[in-house]
């Protein structure tokens, strides 16, 4: 087997230890040295110096939770790093049962058999951490809203029957008065915003309940936590905006995609960066994001068309944006959704829309151009070409030689 890296190392990274296997091949002979280091900074600096002293050029490690990140940051300045997907390492044939993980990683690396995972540059990594934190805070805020609604139901106060958003202007006014001890529904109803469409009598009856001191104290705690989370989200928004200043143009480009707002554009850039050369084609990017159906075919029959597990953060954001895109009239994305909805159901159809949005993002970032809407005629031609290609493939499997005339 061809040797690609003569002096390399494989790392098996754990929470408290890093097992490093140095592999040196010279004159057809292979020498291996295995050492174990701690994960404290001083220990990782020792690992760094050892690799430098041994003139190691390439190092590979598996993506194990978040434990690989400190190792990556410290070794990045001194050698070329490759982050491997554990599933890919596992699927490479030829491993013996008694070979340690670090040795096996080093062996695969020396022959160039490890496919590198995408690791964005430092500014994009920081942006990714912030946008993921922001999404987590939004989830926590939603959980506290649900708990507030549960407390209100327990007190038989039916605010959500007269207003759509409990945390809106009227809802917050009602909650503030309840926490402060007001129990008279007539007095509580006076806090309703004048734009509230529900009849006053219905509002009064919805606010007629039995709020105990425990209900009020619980509501107060949830409201304080909700407000604190919202304040942290505002801070994160400011930090994200500052980090995205060099990429303002790319954000503006992505904002032209139907269903994509500024926040969604920020998440897209945080997850995939702006340099699309890492993904050879739009299809590679869609597959990396986990929006491409898995290939599970046997004897010509497809047994499973589920999408992949990767890209959970990006996938969730794109699907949310895809639902918004399906509501825009005269949109290619809406046409795509309606065409697939009847065949595969709304959930699979909206995933297909999300994948199409990501393909558009790849082309836009590659070509530095805004989103261009596809007309109905173009979409019909594309669909016709797909059907023709599929039918020709079937005929060739049956032994027929089919040649389609060139399009005019």
Q: Three-state SS string across the chain, please?
A: CCCCCCEEEEEEECCCEEEEEEEEEECCEEEEEEEEEECCHHHHHHHHHHHHHCCCCEEEEECCCCCHHHHHHHHCCCCEEEEECHHHHHHCCCCCCCCCHHHHHHHHHHCCCCCECCCCCHHHHHHHHHHHHHHHHHHHHHHHHHHHHHHHHHCCCCHHHCCCCCCCHHHHHHHHHHHCCCCCHHHHHCCCCCCCCCCHHHHHHHCCCCCCHHHHHHHHHHHHHHHHHHHHHHHHHHHHHHHCHHHHHHHHHHCCCCCCCHHHHHHHHHHHCCCHHHCCCHHHHHHHCCCCECCEEECCEEEECCECCCCHHHHHHHHHHHHHHCCCCCCHHHHHHHHHHHHHCHHHHHHHHHHHHHHHHHHHHHHCCCCCCCCHHHHHHHHHHHHHHHHHHHHHHCCCCCCCCCCC
Number of structural domains (the chain) is 3
Q: What is the mean pLDDT of residues 139-143?
A: 96
- The pLDDT of residue 86 is 85
Q: Looking at the structure, do residues 168 and 93 belong to the same domain, yes or no?
A: no
Residue 54: give the domain boundaries: 7-110
Q: Are residues 257 and 369 in the same domain?
A: yes
- Do residue 168 and residue 180 come from a single domain? yes
Pick the more confident residue, 224 or 392: 224
| 277-310 pLDDT per residue, tens | 989 999 999 998 988 876 655 445 555 566 766 7
What's the pLDDT at 407? Answer: 58
Query: Residue 99: what pLDDT?
Result: 59
On the question of pLDDT at 338 being above 80, the answer is yes
Give the end of a domain, one of 243, 278, 299: 243
Say if residue 362 is in the same domain as residue 258. yes
More confident residue, 379 or 175: 175
Question: Is position 118 within any domain?
Answer: no
- Regarding whether 333 and 297 lie in a shared domain, the answer is yes
Higher pLDDT: 213 or 99? It is 213
Question: Would you say residue 403 lies in a domain?
Answer: no
129 is a domain residue = yes
Boundary of a domain, candidates 52, 81, 110: 110
Q: Which of 302-306, 313-317, 332-336 is predicted with the least confidence, judged by mean pLDDT?
A: 302-306
The confidence score (pLDDT) of residue 116 equals 87
More confident residue, 271 or 378: 271
Q: In what order do the strands lie in the sheet with 58-62?
A: 29-38, 17-26, 7-13, 58-62, 80-84
What per-residue confidence (pLDDT) applies to 384?
A: 78
Domain assignment of residue 31, yes or no: yes
What percentage of the chain has pLDDT greater than the value 70? 91
**CATH code of 24's domain:** 3.30.420.10
* Prediction pTM value: 0.81
Averaged over 217-228, what is the pLDDT?
96
Q: Is the pLDDT of residue 50 over 90?
A: yes
Q: Is the same domain home to 86 and 174?
A: no
Residues 150 and 258 in one domain: no
399 belongs to a structural domain: no
117 domain-assigned: no
83-128 tens-digit pLDDT = 998 888 887 777 655 558 899 999 999 999 998 888 889 899 999 9
Residue 183 sits in the same domain as residue 234: yes
313 lies in a domain?
Answer: yes
- Whether 381 is in a domain gets the answer no
Residues 85 and 175 in one domain: no
Identify whether residues 332 and 281 lie together within a single domain: yes
Over residues 11-27, mean pLDDT: 92
Q: Of 110, 136, 152, which residue constitutes the final position of a domain?
A: 110
> pLDDT for 241-271, tens place per residue?
999 999 999 999 999 999 999 999 999 999 9
- Are 358 and 304 contained in the same domain? yes
- Residues 235, 160: one domain? yes
**Mean pLDDT across the chain:** 89
């Amino acid at each position: 087997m061809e040797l690609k890296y003569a002096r390399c190392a494989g790392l098996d990274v754990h929470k408290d230890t890093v097992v490093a296997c140095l592999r040196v091949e010279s004159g057809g002979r292979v020498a291996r040295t295995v050492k174990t280091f701690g994960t404290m900074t001083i220990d990782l600096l020792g690992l760094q110096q050892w690799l430098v002293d041994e003139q190691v050029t390439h190092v590979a490690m598996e993506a194990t939770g978040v434990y690989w990140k400190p190792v990556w940051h410290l070794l990045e300045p001194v050698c070329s790093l490759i982050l491997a997907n554990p599933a890919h390492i596992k699927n490479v044939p030829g491993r013996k049962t008694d070979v340690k993980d670090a040795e096996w990683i080093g062996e695969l690396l020396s022959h160039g058999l490890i496919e590198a995972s995408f690791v964005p540059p430092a500014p994009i990594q920081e942006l990714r951490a912030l946008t993921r934190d922001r999404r987590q805070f939004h989830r926590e805020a939603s959980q506290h809203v649900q708990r507030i609604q549960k407390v209100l139901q327990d007190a038989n106060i039916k605010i959500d029957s007269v207003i759509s958003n409990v945390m809106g202007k009227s809802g917050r006014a009602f909650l503030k008065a309840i926490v402060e001890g007001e129990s008279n529904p007539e007095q509580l109803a006076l806090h309703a915003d004048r734009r509230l469409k529900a009849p006053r009598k219905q509002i009064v009856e919805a606010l007629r309940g039995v709020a105990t001191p425990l209900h009020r104290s619980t509501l107060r705690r949830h409201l304080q936590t909700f407000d604190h989370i919202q304040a942290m989200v505002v801070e994160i928004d400011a930090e994200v905006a500052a980090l995205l200043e060099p990429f303002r143009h790319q954000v503006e480009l992505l904002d032209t995609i139907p269903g994509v707002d500024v926040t969604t554009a920020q998440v897209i850039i945080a997850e995939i960066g702006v340099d699309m050369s890492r993904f050879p084609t739009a299809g590679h990017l869609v597959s990396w994001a986990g929006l491409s159906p898995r290939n599970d075919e046997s004897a010509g029959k497809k047994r499973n068309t589920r999408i992949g597990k990767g890209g959970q953060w990006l996938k969730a954001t794109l699907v949310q944006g895809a639902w918004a895109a399906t509501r825009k009239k005269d949109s290619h994305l809406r046409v795509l959704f309606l065409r697939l909805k009847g065949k595969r159901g709304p959930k699979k159809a909206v995933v297909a829309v999300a994948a199409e949005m990501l393909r558009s993002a790849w082309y836009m970032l590659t070509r530095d151009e805004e989103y261009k809407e596809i007309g109905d005629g173009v979409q019909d031609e594309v669909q016709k070409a797909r059907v023709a290609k599929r039918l020709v493939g079937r005929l060739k499997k049956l032994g027929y030689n089919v040649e389609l005339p060139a399009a005019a």
